[in-house]
Structure 1
Amino acid sequence: MSDVPWELILAIIGVLVPIAAFLWEFVVVGRKRLGYRVQMDTTPTRIGTNYAGAWQRLDREDGKRLTDPSFALLRVENVGSAPIDESDYASPEGEKVGLWARFPGRKVAGVVVTELSDSALEPYFVGADCGLGTHDVESETGTVGTVSLPKVKLNPRAHYKVLVVLERAGAGEFAEPDVVGTVSGGGDGKILRTKGQTGTPPTGTPRWAGALIAFLLMVGLAEPLIFELTEGEAVPLECAAGELTVVGSTAFESVLDEAVVTYENSCPEADIALQLGNSHDGLRDLNDRASAELLAFSDGEKGEQMPALVPRPMALLLFTVVINPKAGVHELSSPDLRRVFDGQVRNWQELGGRDLPVRIVDREADSGTRATFEERVLGRREPGENTGNCAAEPQGEVVRCRREGTSGLLDAVSKTPGAIGYSEVEAANDHQGVRPVLIDGQAATPDAVEEGVYPYWQTEYAYTYGVPASGSLPMSFMRYLTDQRGADIIRSHDKSPCQDLRNHVSCRPDQR
C-alpha cells in the first residue's frame, strides 16, 4: 500500500467533486433561477386597537373599510448564475405578465413597488400595461387574491420588492402566500422559495450540499492519517549553522522578520541579523564586503555594475501610491500621476479633490521602491526634493520632501494634509492614516499585474556574493523562503511567491 499515491488520489477527489457539484448546480440545473422571499406577512392583533390610528382607516376604492387588513412584503430575486431576460419567462410572447403572487383566503386591496436593486428596473413597472396588476380568483377552495408581476430582466443577485395590502376573504387562518411562474434555462424552471420567508422554515442549503460538505470533511480528516501511515515523518528542514547578516530592502522587512524567527526556532545553531535600509545600499554593502556571510534583498535587479552578485527571484512585490485621506482623491490615471509628480498639479481641486495644496513625499534616491515607481509608473526620474519640512507652505512650486524607509514615508503622508507618496502594499494597508490610490481604476493585486493592467510592481531578489556552498546558511535560508513553509509566510504578508506565478522561473509576470 505504501506505493499507492494516496495523497494524489485524495487531492484529485477533493478537486473534482466540488467542481462537478458546482457545474451541476450552477450550469446544468441552476444557470437561470428565480427565487422569492416573503419578508413580511402580518396582520395587527386586536390588542391596543384604540391606538391603531391610520390602520383602522384603511379603505377600499369605494370608501369601505378593509376587513382584517394585512400586509405582505415580497422579494423577487435572480438566484442563478446567468441573467434572466424577458424571453425566459414561460408565458406567451407579447404577454407582459411573467409571474403571479397568490394569497389564498384574502383579497388584494393594493400593491406598490417599494425597492429596486437597480434604477434600470424602473421602466418595467411604469405604465398601465406594464404587467403589474391585481385580481381576485374564485375557486372551489375559496378566494385567492392574485398580484401579477411583469417580465423583469434581472441580472444575477438583482431583485425587486412589492408591498401588497390585503383583506380577509374567508374564515380561518390564512394559507401561506406563494409565487408561481416558470423560466427556461435552469432545472424545472419553477420559481424557488429562498431563505427568509415568513411562517415556514427557510429552504437553506440543499441536502446534496450538506452531504458534499460532510464528504469533503471526511477526506480532509483522513488525509493526514493516510499521509502518516504511508509516508512517515515529513522531510525535515535542512538546517545550517553559523552567522548571517541580511541587508537591503525594507519593503520585504515584514517577511524577513517572521522568517528569521521561525528559521532560528527550527535551527537553533543559526544566528541571523537584520540590518535593512534600502535596496541600493544593501547591494553596495554586499559587493564591497564580498562576504559569504551577507545576504542582500533588493526590489529589482542590480544592474551591470556588480557582476559578482548572483540574484535569485523570491517573490512578486506589490506597491501602491498612498495619499492623505483629506485630499479627497481615491483614484488617479497614469497621466495624472505623472503630472502630479512632475509638479504640474498644484492643488487637489484640479483633479476633483479638496482645496489642499499637493505635497509630495519621496523616498531616498537609492530606494528600490522609488526606483520602481520612476521606472514603471513615471517613466522618468523624479525632480529633487526642495525642503525637509513636508508641511511647508508652497513657495512658487510644489513642496517635495524626503523620508527614509517605508514607515517614515507613511508617517509623513498620514500627518500632512494633501500629501502623496508611495509604499509597499502591506505596509500601506496596515497604516491607518493613509489611503491607497487606484491606478487607472486598478487596485494592487497579483492578478492585475499578471493581466498587465497594474503597473506598480517589482520582483524581490535575494543576492549573494558568488554562489554559496550548498550547506551554507545563506543557501539554507534562501531555500527555506522558497519551500512551503517560507512561501506561506510570504503569502501571509500580501506578497506572491514566485512559484505562484505563471512566469515563475524568472518571476516576471506575463506582459500583454
Structure 2
Amino acid sequence: MALPDTETILTAAGLVATAAVWAMERFLPGRKRIGYRVQMDTAIGMNPQDAHSVVQLRLLRQDQEIRDATLALLRFENDGGKDIVRQDYQEPLTVEFAGRTVIGVEVPDANPTDLVGMLTRNGGGLRHDGDRLLVPKVPLNKRNHFKLLVLLSGPGDGADGGNGGGAGSGGGPGEVTVGGFISGGRIRRNAQRWGPRKLSLALGGTFIVLLGLLGGLLLNGRTAPVPSECAGGRLTIDGSTAFAPPMREIARQYRARCAGADITVLESGSLSGLGNLSREAKPATTEGPGFIAVSDVPAPSLYRRLEGERVGVILLSLVANEKAGVDDLTLGQVRRIYDGTYTNWKQLHGNDLPIHLVSRDAGSGTRRAFETSVLHRSEPGVVSSYDCGDKDRDERARLTRCEVNGTKSLLDAVDRVPGAIGYAEVYAAAKRQHLVSVRLDGHEPDIEWGQQRDYPFWTVEYLYTYGRPEDGSLTAKFLAFMDSDTAKNIMRMYKHVPCADRQSLPDTVCRP
C-alpha cells in the first residue's frame, strides 16, 4: 500500500517544517524570555469642557497637584520555554516614559500572588527616578506574570503613542520603552494584533494538528513516553513545619508533571520526622514506598544510617504581638527576656504589658536553631501556661511560658495574646496582620544574603533518606527535582535561599 506511506511521509515533512518555523520564532533567540505589553496608557481628564465654567478639578497625591496626569498599565510575563531565576538578569528590567515623570506605581495583579511582596518589599522593591521605573529581579516560572499600574505626570513625547500607546490602548500620550538583559534569552514586546505571539499560536496549532495526524498514522495505540524526571509510586515527606509550605508546593508541581506520583507532605516537626524515618529502617526502592525527612537542623549522631543533603537556608524571625510596642531588640535583651530578667515590655521601652513566651516543643528544629544562633543555650524548661495567656499550669513561675507543636500554632498564639513573643520562619510570620517581625541588633532577614550577613537567626534545611535511594525510585527522582529551577523559585518565593545560590552565600553554608 503506497498511499499510506506517502501520507505518512508528507505529514512528517509538514510536521518537521512547522516545528522548525515555530522553534525559530519562539525558541532560537533564547528559551528564556520575558514578554511585555502596554495594556493601557491614557490621560486622566479632570476638566470636561462642558463643565469648565462651573468647576475645575485637580488631581492630588500626597497633597501635591499632578499636572497632565496619565495612567499606564503594563503586563510582564515569562512566555519562553524555561524558568527565569534572579541570576539570569544581567541587567534588571527598566521602563522609560519619555517626557513624563513617574509619580507612583502599584502591582494590581500577579500570578503567583507571592510576586506582589517581592516587587513591593521595602529596600528591594520597585523604584522610580524621573522618567524611569526600575523593576527588581524577580524569579518567573513559565507563564508567571505581573502587572504594573503607573501614575505619571507630564505631556510625554510622541503623542501618537509611540512604542507603547498603541498596545491595547488605542493610542496614548507618550512613548514607553522597556530595557534589560537576560543571560541566554531576551526581553520583547508582545503585540496584541497579528504579530509574533499570534503567529506563534497559529504555528503551534498547526503543529498540534499535524502531530495528531502523524500519531494516527504511526503510533497505532502507543502511549506517550514518561518524562525522564518522573517516577511512579508513593512517597511520604515528613518533618519541619517551617519548611512544609514550600515543600507542599514543590510536591504539587511534581505531581502535576508526573501523574503516577503519590506524594504526601506531613509536618510533625524536624526531630519527629527524623525519628519516623529511622523507624522505617529501609532504603527507598523502585518497588516500595519512599520516605524523606525534612529537618531544620543536622540529624543527631544516633541516626547513623540516615543520609542527608543541604537544600537551602531558611530565614527565621522573632515575632511579637503588636501591642507589645517593640520592633527592635539586641541579642542581649532577647537572652534576658528568656532567662526571666525582663518580665514586662515597659522595661524595654515598650508598652506596660507582661511578657508571654510562646515556644516550640522539644522536637522542633526551629527551636533548636533559636537556641543555637540566638540564645546560645537551651530555653528555660519551665512550662507555666497551657493557654499561653495565664500561668494556669504553675502560677508561682517567674515566666509565663507555653509550648506549641507547630509554626501555625505558635503564630496563632502570639497573634492572640497581647504581649506575646515567639519565633517562626519569615514568610509565614509576614502574613499575620497583628504580628511584628522584630529586628535583631538593628538587622532584619533578607533573601539577598549580601544585605543581611550580620543577621544571626537562620538555619540550613536538610533532606534525609534512610541510606541511598535506589536509582529510578520516586525518592531519587524527587530529590533530583529539588535542584530544578521550579523548586528553587518556589523556595525563593517563600523567602528561603536555595543552595543553588552559592555565590551569594558564605562558603561553608551549603558545603557537605
For normalisation by structure 1, the TM-score amounts to 0.57
Aligned CA distance change for structure 1 residues 411 and 73 (closer, same or farther; 3 Å):
closer
User: Equivalent residue for 2:476?
Assistant: 475
1:243–1:473 CA contact under 8 A, matched in 2 = yes
Structure 2: 5+ residue runs without aligned partners?
A: 1-19, 35-51, 56-63, 68-127, 131-150, 164-174, 181-185, 212-223, 284-289
Quote how far apart the aligned CAs of 1:225 are: 6.4
Query: Does residue 297 in structure 1 map to residue 288 in structure 2?
Result: no
The AA in structure 1 aligned to 2:479 is M
Quote how far apart the aligned CAs of 1:441 are: 1.7
What whole-Å deviation, never above 9, does each CA across 1:338-366 have from its counterpart, x for those lacking one?
A: 11122211110011110001110100012
Greater shift in the superposed pair: 307-316 or 491-500: 491-500
Q: Quick one: which of 240, 246, 249 aligns to 1:255?
A: 246
Quote the Cα distance in structure 1 between the aligned partners of 2:341 and 2:352: 16
User: Equivalent residue for 1:419?
Assistant: 420
| Seq. identity, % | 33
What whole-Å deviation, never above 9, does each CA across 1:313-356 have from its counterpart, x for those lacking one?
A: 11211111011111011111111111112221111001111000
User: Equivalent residue for 2:336?
Assistant: 339
Quote the Cα distance in structure 2 between the aligned partners of 1:213 and 1:297: 41
1:318–1:457 CA contact under 8 A, matched in 2 = yes
Residue correspondence of structure 1 range 140-179 to structure 2 within 5 A: none
Q: Quick one: which of 296, 313, 318 aligns to 1:316?
A: 313
Aligned CA distance change for structure 1 residues 277 and 483 (closer, same or farther; 3 Å):
same
Aligned CA distance change for structure 1 residues 294 and 204 (closer, same or farther; 3 Å):
farther
Instruction: Indicate the SS of the match to 2:465.
Output: strand
User: Equivalent residue for 2:390?
Assistant: 392
User: Equivalent residue for 2:351?
Assistant: 354
Count residues with an aligned counterpart: 340
User: Equivalent residue for 2:266?
Assistant: 275
Quote the Cα distance in structure 2 between the aligned partners of 1:46 and 1:310: 80
The structure whose Rg is larger is 1
Aligned CA distance change for structure 1 residues 222 and 301 (closer, same or farther; 3 Å):
farther
The AA in structure 2 aligned to 1:315 is G
Instruction: Indicate the SS of the match to 2:277.
Output: helix
User: Equivalent residue for 1:372?
Assistant: 369
For normalisation by structure 2, the TM-score amounts to 0.57
Quote the Cα distance in structure 1 between the aligned partners of 2:322 and 2:65: 41
Structure 1: 5+ residue runs without aligned partners?
A: 15-44, 49-71, 76-155, 159-193
User: Equivalent residue for 2:443?
Assistant: 442
Query: Does residue 246 in structure 1 map to residue 240 in structure 2?
Result: no
What whole-Å deviation, never above 9, does each CA across 1:113-136 have from its counterpart, x for those lacking one?
A: xxxxxxxxxxxxxxxxxxxxxxxx
1:322–1:428 CA contact under 8 A, matched in 2 = yes
Quote the Cα distance in structure 1 between the aligned partners of 2:156 and 2:292: 60
Quote how far apart the aligned CAs of 1:419 are: 0.5
What whole-Å deviation, never above 9, does each CA across 1:370-405 have from its counterpart, x for those lacking one?
A: 000111111111111332331115746121111111
User: Equivalent residue for 2:97?
Assistant: none
Quote the Cα distance in structure 2 between the aligned partners of 1:446 and 1:428: 15
Q: Quick one: which of 194, 207, 210 aligns to 2:176?
A: 210
| Aligned-residue CA RMSD (Å) | 4.3
1:331–1:441 CA contact under 8 A, matched in 2 = yes
What whole-Å deviation, never above 9, does each CA across 1:53-103 have from its counterpart, x for those lacking one?
A: xxxxxxxxxxxxxxxxxxx9999xxxxxxxxxxxxxxxxxxxxxxxxxxxx
1:316–1:507 CA contact under 8 A, matched in 2 = no
Aligned CA distance change for structure 1 residues 8 and 279 (closer, same or farther; 3 Å):
farther
Quote the Cα distance in structure 2 between the aligned partners of 1:491 and 1:234: 31
Residue correspondence of structure 1 range 216-235 to structure 2 within 5 A: 216-218=187-189
1:322–1:421 CA contact under 8 A, matched in 2 = yes
2:293–2:463 CA contact under 8 A, matched in 1 = yes
